[in-house]
Amino acid sequence: MNNELGIIITKIRERRKALHLSQKEVADKCGLKQANYSRMESGKQSPTLETLLQIADAVNLRIELIPNEMTVYHVMFRDELVTVVSLSKDRKTIHFNKIKEDGIFQPFSGEKLDLERFYRFIKSRCYEDGRADLDEILKQAHLSSNNPYDFIRISHGVTYSDDFWIKDENEKITWKDVKVR
C-alpha cells in the first residue's frame, strides 16, 4: 500500500472511531463484507478509488489528495485527533478537515480555516515576542528566531492552559509523551 493511501485509510479509521462506529457498521453502509473492510483498514487490501470514496462518504470524511509539497499537522486534544491541517510548504495554501464537530474539543469553529487564523493559533502556543528571556529560550531550543512553525515542531504547541497540541502526521507520539508534567 502506498503512503498516500495509507494516510487516507488512517484518516478513515480515526474518523470511524471518532464517530463510535464499528467496522461492521461502516461496511454495511457501503455494501461491503466486514472482513473485506477490516483487511482494507488494516492495510492488507487496497480498495478501489470508488470504494474508498464510498467509505469516506459513509464516515462523512472529505478526501483531498494531498500533494507532497504539503505539511500535514494533526491538531490533537489529548490523544484524540480533532483536526487535520494541510499547509503548503510556501505557507500560501491551507486545507483542513475537522474530525471533531464544533465545541469545546475543537479549536477551529465554523467552516473556514484561513492562513492567518492557523498562524494565530500556533503563535499563541509559542513564547511571546519581546519576552526578556526569549533569546535564551531560543538558544536552548536551537532556534535562530521565534518562528512558530519551527517552535511547534519542537514543543508540539503544548501549553499549561489547555490539552490541545500539534504533531506531524508521521509522529508516533501520545499525549503522555508531550503533556506538561
Same domain, 77 and 22: no
Question: Can you state the angle between helices 34-42 and 23-30, rounded to 10 degrees?
Answer: 110
Predicted structure pTM score:
0.63
Q: How confident is the model at residue 23 (pLDDT cuts 50, 70, 90)?
A: very high
Domain with 99, as residue range(s), is 70-178
pLDDT value, residue 92: 86
Q: Domain count for the chain, please give it.
A: 2
Q: What is the CATH number of the domain that holds 47?
A: 1.10.260.40
Q: What is the mean pLDDT of the chain?
A: 88
Residues 52 and 81 in one domain: no
Looking at the structure, tell me whether residues 14 and 54 fall in a common domain: yes
In a domain? residue 65: no
Residues 98 and 83 sit within 8 Å (Cβ to Cβ): yes
- Asked if residue 100 and residue 50 are part of one domain, the reply reads no
33 and 94 inside one domain: no
Is 85 found in the same domain as 30? no
84: nearest Cα among 93, 68, 72, 94: 72
- pLDDT exceeds cutoff 90 at 42: no
Q: Say if residue 7 is in the same domain as residue 54.
A: yes
53 and 101, same domain (yes or no): no
Looking up cell 464544533 gives 102
